[in-house]
Structure 1
Amino acid sequence: MLVFSTSDKGGAGRSVTSCNLAYRLCLSGKDVAYLDFTFGSPTAGALFEIDDVARGATSGGLHSYLLGSVGFPAGVDVHAMTDRAALRSSASRAAKLVLFPGDKGGAEFLTVNDGMVHRCADLLSQLERTFEVVVVDLSAGRSAALELALRATALPQLRAHTVRWLVFHRWSRQHILAAAGLVHGPNGLLRVGREWGHDAVCLLESVRYVRTAVPSVAALSMMSHPAQAAWLAEQDEVLKRLASSNRLGASALLGTTPVEPVLQWREQVILDVDVDAHIANPATADAFVELAHRLLDDGTWESF
């Protein structure tokens, strides 16, 4: 399975949620490859707390591979190489999790050529033969990374593969509108995908949304003045109607993640030991487990 994580705006929680999703998938027994296609800022290594690749690989990363400088990109075993002891110790009860970082100092690609597209497709095809889930974290917006992913998955060698697109947005008016535009807009995923050979209906069926850092209206209301509590409840309903009218409603939703202080202060993988120590909230870990389950559940991806 190929999973592409994207968002129209930065700060949507795409990368940190995708890393946590990858970790929960490997805890469930799935071998996972994680590709850092955030070419302008390849820092997935920092999220997995691997100091050697915190800002990308020193050589042979995804930039080098896509440009044809190396035959295969460098991969890093997360459990073996992480500097976080608790994450290393979880290896005994987890499947394989391998990070493929971009190059340190690498920049966003200005253009995408046919050679890059075919190398991308070859890499994804090879990785899917080794890993059960391949998570590709794309740069925000209508980026070269998004074009590369769309063009590669339209090629015959990947058309028969299961491909799923996760569009991340925060629970705000601006993020809802941005996410809708990224998918349905004039230069959005569906239109551009169709131009590169995708069937728009099939492509739409492979898209689901993830709402991140969603506050609990009930919890906020308990701490608020009655007037403020009423306003918060009203705004939550307004956002629900806005999401529905922009085709981001419940039927298109993969799941949500709650506001989590640990992630606001320090973007990281939430481990069970963090929950047991009462540092991270149980609801956050539960949300990542549920996202992993729904990602793999075919029923979640039935036509809507």
Structure 2
Amino acid sequence: MIVFAASGKGGVGQSVTSCNLAYRLSLHGISTAYVDFDLGSPSAGAVFEIGSVDSGAETGNGLHSYLLGHDSIHRRVDVRASTHRKALHSRRSRGAALVLLPGDEGCGEAVSANDRQVVRRCRELLLDLDSTFKVVIVDLSAGRSVAMQIALEATRPLDMPDNEVYWLVYHRWTRQHLMSAKRVVHGPKGLLARAVELGYGLDDLLARIRFVRTAVPCVTGEHAAGGGPQAAWLLKQHDVLRSLAAEYRLGDSVSLGEVPVDRLLQWREQIVLDADVGAGIANWATVVAFDNLARRLVDRATWVPV
């Protein structure tokens, strides 16, 4: 199962949510590879707290160099064995494999979707990972990026007809981010339009796209933000956003789930451990949200056409 992580704009929590999703998958016994394909600023190493690749691998030793043909073997990092975070490192024998393929630090701009070698090597790498791991998460650059173009070309049905390829599109729970997510998927130069040009079936691809809402405030119950007029206003805005999401074809029926606002993640992008909840620095709702995303991702019922 190959899963591309995309978004309409940066700053939506795409990488930190995807890293936490990968961690939760591994806890469920699902071997997972995380491919950091953010061309401009690979950051998965920082989220996993692996100092040697916290802003990507040294130039010539990462994903982008591999795609350009500079290296025949791509670097793979065992997350639990390599992390500097003691609480995560101590769990290196727990769960299934979790491996990071880091991008190059600061050299992604050289990669082009027009380079047939890049597309071919990307396809070969994904096929190899797909045969080795149960889930392969590919974290793309934000927006209608070169990385997205390469992903579409590398996995087009003509070349990978039998592989399960899916898309997660992340957006914050605001009007502007809903508009951005709509453009990147349904816009005239968006994901769907480009995919159809490459021979994808529109209905089939639509069934393979789900949306993830991030930083969603609690508007009801004891944890609701504010009170009185503010709480009433937030509830009204929440209803407005739900209607807008449905209008933009980003509604509940095509949503994988949502992640609530958590002050821990607002201050520090990291893997949220159960121990963080026990220490009182993270919310249990956040752990539950990541866990639910992991369960739904690998549930075939999630991908039934709607």
- TM bin, normalised by shorter chain, reads over 0.9
CA distance in 1, matches of 2:225, 2:200: 49
Which amino acid is the alignment partner of residue 269 of structure 2?
E
SS of corresponding position for 1:108: helix
The 5 Å alignment of 1:1-304 reads 1-58=1-58, 59-109=60-110, 111-112=112-113, 113-154=115-156, 156-218=158-220, 224-304=226-306
CA distance in 1, matches of 2:212, 2:226: 27
Contact kept? 2:217, 2:225, Cα under 8 Å:
no
Contact kept? 1:220, 1:229, Cα under 8 Å:
no
Deviation at 1:221, TM superposition (A): 8.6
Q: Deviations over 1:116-164 (max 9, x none)?
A: 1111000000011111110000000000000000000105442211111
Contact kept? 1:221, 1:228, Cα under 8 Å:
no
SS of corresponding position for 1:30: coil
Aligned structure 1 segments of 4 or more residues deviating by more than 6 angstroms: none
Q: Where does structure 2 lack aligned partners over 5 or more consecutive residues?
A: none
Q: What TM-score, normalized to structure 1?
A: 0.97
Deviation at 1:60, TM superposition (A): 1.9
Deviation at 1:72, TM superposition (A): 2.2
Change (3 A) 1:79 1:221: closer
SS of corresponding position for 2:108: coil
Contact kept? 1:121, 1:155, Cα under 8 Å:
no
CA distance in 2, matches of 1:184, 1:23: 30
CA distance in 2, matches of 1:131, 1:222: 40
Q: Indicate the larger mover: 222-231 or 69-78.
A: 222-231
Q: State the aligned residue count.
A: 304
CA distance in 2, matches of 1:132, 1:227: 48
CA distance in 1, matches of 2:225, 2:69: 56
Contact kept? 2:44, 2:102, Cα under 8 Å:
yes
Which amino acid is the alignment partner of residue 302 of structure 1?
V
CA distance in 1, matches of 2:2, 2:173: 26
Q: If each structure's helix is expressed as a fraction of its own residues, which one has the higher value?
A: 1
Deviation at 1:103, TM superposition (A): 1.1
Which amino acid is the alignment partner of residue 179 of structure 1?
A
Contact kept? 2:111, 2:118, Cα under 8 Å:
no
Q: Indicate the larger mover: 242-251 or 150-159.
A: 150-159
Change (3 A) 1:81 1:265: same
Identity %: 53
SS of corresponding position for 2:301: helix
Change (3 A) 1:237 1:72: same
Contact kept? 1:65, 1:72, Cα under 8 Å:
yes
Q: Deviations over 1:212-267 (max 9, x none)?
A: 01000125896635222221111111100000001011100000000011100000
Q: Where does structure 1 lack aligned partners over 5 or more consecutive residues?
A: none
SS of corresponding position for 1:267: coil
Change (3 A) 1:220 1:110: farther
CA distance in 2, matches of 1:77, 1:221: 37
Q: Deviations over 1:46-85 (max 9, x none)?
A: 0100000111111421111110111121111101100011
RMSD: 1.4
Deviation at 1:104, TM superposition (A): 1.8
Change (3 A) 1:220 1:151: farther
SS of corresponding position for 1:72: coil
SS of corresponding position for 1:145: helix
Change (3 A) 1:222 1:300: closer
Q: Deviations over 1:73-121 (max 9, x none)?
A: 1111101100011111112221111100011222334631111111100
Q: What TM-score, normalized to structure 2?
A: 0.96
Contact kept? 1:109, 1:144, Cα under 8 Å:
no
Q: Indicate the larger mover: 110-119 or 252-261.
A: 110-119
CA distance in 2, matches of 1:66, 1:163: 20
